[in-house]
Amino acid sequence: MSITVRPIGEAEWPDFVAVAYEAFSSTYPLEITDRWREIMEFDRLVAAFDDDLAVGCAGTLSFHMTVPGGPIPVAGVTAVGVLSSHRRRGVLTALMTHQLHGLHHRGGEAVAALYASEAGIYGRFGYGRASDALSFRIPTHAAFTRAAPADATLRLRLARPADALAALRRVYDAVQPGRPGLYGRSEAFWRAEILPDTDYDQGGMGPLRCLIAEDAAGPRGYALFRAKSGWNEHGVADGEVRLMELHACDPAAYALVWRGVLDRDLCAVVHAGRRPSDDAIVHLLAEPRQASAVWIDDLWVRLVDVDRALAARAYAAPADLVVEVEDEVCPWNAGRWRLKTAGGAESCERSEAPADLTMPVGVLGAAYLGGRPLSAAAEAGLVREHRAGALRELSAAMSWDPAPWGCRVF
């Protein structure tokens, strides 16, 4: 079998979609395909071909994603799939290698990020699990602590989500630079990915609803959610709320929006999927055990060019050390790099000095957003320390607060 990976032409878009749909066992209606096309960057789509048959696909979205220190250009890898008829034949390896090598040779984004459909796939291509998310189940009307922040100038307003886009964007754009992992959203992305409300999007949960916390100066927080009514066998209301996302600019607005979501009448529980691993809701509840949670992987990060990537972020502590990087997929990263962090004068350059630490590139990717201590990787045997104290030095420098979180799958 001879596999060729190349960019697709406009006429091959249906073939790209057909592969993606089959690979993900999707049942998307045609209108979802049209929305998807709105946000896809046609010149960044590639497919793998077996002769003339499209058998694999991959896309890249041009994001500005927050990393420690602020937003930088990041390649958002999406729509990666291979036909089941062509699995275990090197198609995925060809796609991922083509994508990463293309970024490097064109001088594109130094960092790539993705959401994994299966958590075991992308580690072999140098991606590291860089952030986690919690999916909460919280009973409605759960009591808040007496110390929960409040602001008498704030009020809650129900709004039709499509009419509230300006307010939603104002809040999101304000919080995005402060949390690693959050990425900028174009208006097309908002309309195609966040606000759609067809029967397919609702999934039996009812229309998209919106709560906005605002004062005289404008919006300070919002929640997007769906609600489904229900009654148990005893005739007692047993509906549920599904929180899609919640953001706020300050603690009082955050508490008020959460309170509004939890106060939904005739509903028994709130399901809040993919919340940040340091979500403050656990500090607001009078009984935090009411927030039962499942821990899942969130963003996976790949350093395409180690030197540019490490020099592009800020650091929480000073460090000056040599890291030997192991990278079979992107050999230009392999070798020793001297990283110096000095409050705005960060640098990462080739070095002939002895290594203080040795690690796979995926470990650096996992630590890149600041939420994955290197000590855990060392305990798993993934990091080798050659100079005493070097592990703690680099781990402290790469740590960051708040925890990384991407919010929405792309």
pLDDT at 90 over 80: yes
Question: Chain-centre distance of CA 242, in angstroms?
Answer: 19
Burial pattern 377-396, b for ≥16 Cβ within 10 A else e, equals bbeeebbebeeeebbbbbbb
User: What's the confidence (pLDDT) of residue 343?
Assistant: 75
Residue 233 pLDDT level (bands cut at 50, 70, 90): confident
Q: What is the mean pLDDT of residues 165-187?
A: 98
Amino acid 1: pLDDT = 62
If you average pLDDT over residues 184-200, what whole number do you get? Answer: 96
Residue 43 pLDDT class (50, 70, 90 cuts):
very high
- As a whole number of angstroms, the distance between CA 243 and CA 117 comes to 21
Mean pLDDT throughout 6-35? 91
Q: What is the mean pLDDT of residues 340-358?
A: 94
The pLDDT value recorded for residue 344 is: 77
pLDDT of the residue at 126: 98
Rounded-to-integer distance, Cα 274 and Cα 403, Å = 13
**Core vs surface per residue 198-230: b (16+ CB within 10 A) or e:** eeebeeebbebbbbbbbeeeebbbbbbbbbeee
**What's the CA gap between 101 and 94, in Å, rounded?**
10
pLDDT surpassing 90 at residue 27: no
- pLDDT grade for 31, boundaries at 50, 70 and 90: confident
What mean pLDDT do residues 192-210 have?
96
Q: Which residue has the tokens 């990091």?
A: 383
Fold of 134-297: Aminopeptidase (3.40.630)
User: What residues does each domain of the chain span?
Assistant: 3-130, 134-297, 306-398
CATH number of 306-398: 3.30.1050.10
pLDDT tens for 266-312 read 999 999 999 999 999 999 999 999 999 999 999 999 999 999 999 99
For residue 281, what is the enclosing H or E element?
helix 281-284
What is the crossing angle of helices 13-23 and 30-39, to 10°?
110
**pLDDT exceeds 80 at position 128:** yes
pLDDT digits (tens, 9 = 90+) for 378-409: 999 999 999 999 999 999 999 999 999 999 99
User: Residue 224: beta bridge partners?
Assistant: 210, 245
pLDDT of residue 342 exceeding 90: no
In single-letter form, the type of residue at position 85 comes to S
Lowest mean pLDDT among 23-37, 198-212, 259-273: 23-37
Say yes or no: do domains 3-130 and 306-398 share a fold: no
Mean pLDDT of 88-107: 97
Judged by average pLDDT, the poorest of 227-241, 272-286, 289-303, 350-364 is: 227-241
Q: How far apart are alpha carbons 166 and 161 in whole angstroms? A: 10
Q: What are the pLDDT digits (tens) for 47-84?
A: 999 999 999 999 999 999 999 999 999 999 999 999 99
Mean pLDDT of the chain: 96
Closest CA to 133 of 301, 285, 278, 289: 278
**Can you tell me the mean pLDDT for 115-132?**
97
Looking at the domain 3-130, which fold is it?
A: Aminopeptidase (3.40.630)
CB 126 within 8 Å of CB 327: yes
* Prediction pTM value: 0.96
Quick one: pLDDT at residue 382?
98
Mean pLDDT of 143-165: 97
CA–CA distance, 166 with 181 (Å, rounded to integer): 22
CA distance 404 to 85: 37
Please state, in angstroms and rounded to a whole number, the distance separating the CA atoms of residues 390 and 209.
50
Q: Which of 234, 213, 235, 231 is nearest to 222 (CA)?
A: 213
